[in-house]
Amino acid sequence: MKADASRPPTLHRSRVQRARLLVVTFDERRAVERLLHEARQHHPEIVSIVSAADDRELSGIVEAGATVVFAENLAAGLTLSDQVLLFSGLSQERAASIVSEVRVELNPER
């Protein structure tokens, strides 16, 4: 049997109102938005981390209440950049510093 996490009965059974953190790893935008909306109704202070396949339609997920959205394409690109820098001869510390600077530039509110 497949459960729909965005349905209130499923959230109630999962005890979302007692959770400290909600992590969403499926990539069906409308269902994610419903899930976040429902979770916020039961637990307005809950921290939610959402993994999204890409960063093209994140505004709806953020508006629905995501605390953090982890865009997989951005994360993969930053990891690739880190590896390129390492294999180009930079130290781990310098490569990490450059990737951190880029991450801040791409996401200045953090």
pLDDT tens string 60-81: 888 888 998 888 888 889 999 9
Residue range 9-20: mean pLDDT, rounded? 86
pLDDT tens string 27-48: 788 889 999 999 998 889 999 9
pTM of the predicted model, to two decimals? 0.70
Count of residues in the chain: 110
| CATH number for the domain running over 8-106 | 3.40.50.720
Characterize the bridge pairing of strands 21-24 and 47-52: parallel
| Tokens 């497949």, located at residue | 2
